[in-house]
Amino acid sequence: MPMRRRTFLKGAATTVAAGTGLFPHVWVKNTGLAYAQGGEIKVGVLFSLTGTTAIIEESLHKATIMAIEEINAAGGINGMRIVPVEEDPASDPATFAEKARKLVLSDRCVSVFGSYTSASRKAVLPVFERQNNLYFYPTLYEGRECSKNVIYTGAVPNQQQDDFVPWLVEKFGKRWYLIGSNYIYPKEENNYCKKLLAELGAEVVAEEYVPLGHSEFSSVINKFRSEKPNVIFSTVVGDSVVALHRQYRAAGLDPETMPMASLTTSENEVAAMGGDAAAGHFTSAPYFMVWDSPENQRFVEAYRSRWGGDKVTHFVSEPSYFQVYLFKQAVQKLAASDITPPTIREAIKGEEMVAPQGRVRIEPENLHTWLWPKIGQCGSDGQFTILKQSETWQEPDPYKAYPNQRCTADGLKEV
Amino acid sequence: MLDIAAQFVTGLSIASILLMVALGLAVIYGTTGVINLAHGEFVMLGAYGAWFAQTFLGLGLIASMPLVFVAVALLGLLTERSVIRWLYARPLDTILATWGVGVVLQQAVRLSAGGELRYVAAPHILDVSLDLLGVSVSAYRVFVLVVALAAFAATWAIIYRTALGLRLRAITQNREVAQAFGVNADRVYSLTFAYGAGLAGLAGALVAPLKSVAPEMGTAYVVDAFMVVVLGGVQSLFGTVASSGLLGELSGFIAYLSNDTIAKAVVLLAVVVLIRFRPQGLFTRRGRA
């Protein structure tokens, strides 16, 4: 089915292009079918500024807007300005879908940057697939998705875990306690983690999920005490992360012998739990605020001078920033009359740039991003110390936990 | 054996937080009959009060507790004077009104203090572990337990050993007769509501160092608080203690044996079944109007 729809759309696009060639003034002026006109390229910015996830999405919004401002200040894309159309989906998946429809259909944005949660991405997905538009998604997520209408610039499980898990097994031991919040993301991460642990001959002593927003971890901590795992692998999210770390510390457990290894604890959560509670624990991510590179220094300084000296950058705001530049690079390669979502998708395949975290690249097969995973240990000052960076950039494989499936340029393949 | 002792102590600690959060609600609901859905927001305001005192006034948690109690109590008084007092004759409408108050408070905090999670430090001297029943337990959790019991004792003394408490009990039994005897019911209700709100604020300040502080934190607490009060029996203070102890131990043990997701479901189910067969709750006082 998708093949047939795509063929149809291609045909339609050709017809339109032919029409534009013959009667350019009719099409461009009256019906506004061209995406780039009057020296402007409209893009949607779809991050929640109100509601429960506004806390984090506000920083993604700021990083996106800053990148757009920078590009425009430097002369835009081939002399055209990027015009952001901002919408507030209020942390509600249904509103996400509604606003996405507005951005794509009535504002005629050529691409949209947005979403933090998987729930909101899943909600807008049908809109972008049906209209064959493009969605840029900056968050690390659980993988197992293969859409031709989403550019994924955050990490998938294999990128965060391939270095992290063997490193922890070697350094701390083979008894692992998996704890996560009770929804899809932690379960998929743990699926992949269990696969890696089995290959390393390590043992999962418990796998446990707490309700979203849970804040009473004393029973869980008693289980840590009685099971005595070597590593606590945590995919607990949101304010539960804060409660878990604080109660772990209050209970007097020792990160030296039983560290928590997390995929979700960023500078944001650490600021809320206090450096004392975070000290000694590990996080794996492609980006940390302290990462020492000229690009990151420039990014952090620009962010703070634009939005305030106390602001932090983190592993979701960084992709929010660089993905706008990747968009720019792709559009730059196109003639103004050729700028459409499908041509941008083709142009962005294989596109590379030096992001704050290092050189990144869009994988042509699955539209995910090659990234540089790092292992950080938190100090009592609330900042991470980077202990290890992967030797090479990591290929994104959203189906790595499922060896019989593979995401290719033609869609999901069973092998 | 040690595991069971450890889990028992854990249950006590969970129970002390439940008691602290539910006590204010028990006082308000049990005496005025107002179903205060803004209770969770008073808890949240208490937590933000502790954060404010720590960040802007440089006060430690213990020093800020009386301040938080007074501030949230005053806000409770204001709420009662401006909204609740017009609705005593319409108890069902108080649900909608207090829910609205809760939404307003939540958004007001989000707009003024920002949406991000906030950090409240635990007092430094309580940053150690104690030995309780042969189990090592965080001193801060013991402190919460002590404060909860003290708050309960103070509440009991106010209701059963002061003139205000006597008037309050009289009004609860029969408002008209009490008023005929010259009791100023409006004033007593205002004070009761303010006291209950103050207790909620105190609870918020107490949980802040253990959990996270965010504008929507109140929602979870209001559910817990209602569960405790309804299970314990609406007008029984001792019922509140007993049911928070029961719920704390139950959820702690089930979470230990299986996990927190199951514990939450089982505890809610148990409460539903119990209410079905004993709608008045575990403990009831005779002599209700």
Write the DSSP string, B135-162.
EEEEHHHHHHHHHHHHHHHHHHHHHHHS
Residue type, A137: Y
Domain over A158-285+375-414 is classified CATH 2.60.40.1930: no
Q: Note whether A223 contacts B17, CB cutoff 8 Å.
A: no
Q: Matching CATH topology for A34-155+293-372 and A158-285+375-414?
A: yes
- Interface mutation vs chain B, best among A183, A205, A218, most B CBs within 10 Å: A218
Contact B157/A at CB under 8 A: no
**Structure-derived torsion over alpha carbons of residues A107, A109, A115, A120, reported in degrees to the nearest 10:** 60
What is the model's pLDDT at position B285? 63
- The confidence score (pLDDT) of residue A77 equals 95
Please name the residue ranges forming H helices in B174-234.
175-180, 185-207, 218-232
**Do strands A352-355 and A358-362 pair parallel, antiparallel, or not at all (unpaired)?**
antiparallel
Domain spans, chain A:
34-155+293-372, 158-285+375-414
| B122 neighbourhood in chain A, CB within 8 Å | 250
Chain B residue nearest residue A225, CA to CA: B3
Of A248 and A3, the structure prediction assigns the larger pLDDT to A248
pLDDT tens, position by position, B81-127: 999 999 988 888 999 999 999 999 999 998 898 777 889 999 988 88
Q: Is the pLDDT of residue A31 over 60?
A: no
Q: What is the pLDDT of residue B289?
A: 40
Would you call A273 and B261 a contact, using CB atoms and an 8 Å cutoff?
no
Q: Which pair of structure tokens corresponds to residue A48?
A: 């929640």
B212 and A211 within 8 Å at the Cβ level: the answer is no
Average pLDDT over residues A163-186: 95
The DSSP 8-state label assigned to residue A168 in this structure reads: H
pLDDT in the model for residue B43:
97
- Decide if pLDDT at A50 tops 60: yes
Q: pLDDT tens across A395-413, in order?
A: 999 999 999 999 999 889 9
Contacts of B256 in chain A (CB under 8 A): 219, 222-223
The predicted pLDDT at position A304 comes to 96
Cβ atoms A120, A93 nearer than 8 A: yes
Q: Is the pLDDT of residue A226 over 80?
A: yes
Q: Is the pLDDT of residue A16 over 80?
A: no
pLDDT above 90 (res A311): no
Cβ atoms of A214 and A237 closer than 8 Å:
no
**A&B contacts, CB < 8 Å:** 102
- What the block records as the tokens of B70 is 């007074």
Q: What is d(CA B165, CA B188) in angstroms, rounded to the nearest whole number?
A: 9
Could you identify the residue written with the tokens 């505890």? Answer: B267
Contact A249, A276 (CB under 8 A): yes
Instruction: Decide: A248 and A280 in contact? Cβ < 8 Å.
Output: no
Chain A: give the shortest CA distance to residue B214, in Å: 8
Closest by CA position to B160, among listed B225, B233, B236, B228: B236
Residue found by looking up tokens 């070597």 in the block: A230
Q: What is the structure's pLDDT at A20?
A: 45
Is pLDDT of A1 > 50? Answer: no
Give whole-number Cα distances, A114 to A98, A126, B146, B183, in Å.
13, 15, 48, 61
* Average confidence (pLDDT) over A23-43: 65
Q: Which CATH architecture has domain A34-155+293-372?
A: 3-Layer(aba) Sandwich (3.40)
Element spanning A211, H or E: none
B62: helix, strand or coil: helix
Report d(CA A171, CA B204) in Å as an integer.
Answer: 40
For an interface test with A, the pick among B133, B222, B260, B267 (most A C-beta atoms closer than 10 Å) comes out as B260
For the four alpha carbons of B16, B17, B19 and B24, in that order, the dihedral sign comes to: positive
pLDDT in tens, A108-157: 999 999 999 999 999 999 999 999 999 999 999 999 999 999 999 999 99
Identify the residue among B54, B259, B267, B268 best suited for mutation to test binding to A, counting A beta carbons within 10 A and taking the highest: B259
Classified as helix, coil or strand, A198 is helix
Q: CA-to-CA distance for A108 and A32, rounded, in angstroms?
A: 9
Please give the pLDDT value at position A315: 95
The pLDDT of residue A21: 44
Question: Is residue B3 less than 8 Å (CB to CB) from chain A?
Answer: yes
d(CA A10, CA B233): 69
| pLDDT at residue A8 in the model | 52
Q: Taking residues A326-335, what's their average pLDDT? A: 96
**Model confidence band, residue A23 (pLDDT cutoffs 50, 70, 90):** very low
Residue type at A142 in one-letter notation: E
User: Are residues B138 and A250, on separate chains, in Cβ contact within 8 Å?
Assistant: yes
Interface of B with A in 185-214 (CB under 8 A): 209-214
Q: Is A236 on the interface with B (CB under 8 A)?
A: no
How high is the pLDDT of residue A5? 53
DSSP states of A76-124: TBTTBEEEEEEE--TT-HHHHHHHHHIIIIIS--S-EEE-SSHHHHHHH
- Looking at A27-31, A274-278, A311-315, which range is the least confident one? A27-31
What token pair was written down for A293?
């590179």
At A339, the pLDDT band (50, 70, 90 cuts) reads very high
Q: Is the pLDDT of residue A341 over 90?
A: yes
Question: Is it the case that residue A2 has pLDDT exceeding 90?
Answer: no
* Identity at A129, one-letter amino acid code: E
Return the bridge partners of A221, or none. Answer: none
Residues on chain A touching B255 (C-beta within 8 angstroms): 219-220
Q: Do B216 and A54 touch (CB under 8 A)?
A: no
Of the candidates B211, B251, B252, the beta carbon closest to that of A215 is on: B211
Q: Which residues of chain B fall below pLDDT 70?
A: 1-2, 285-289
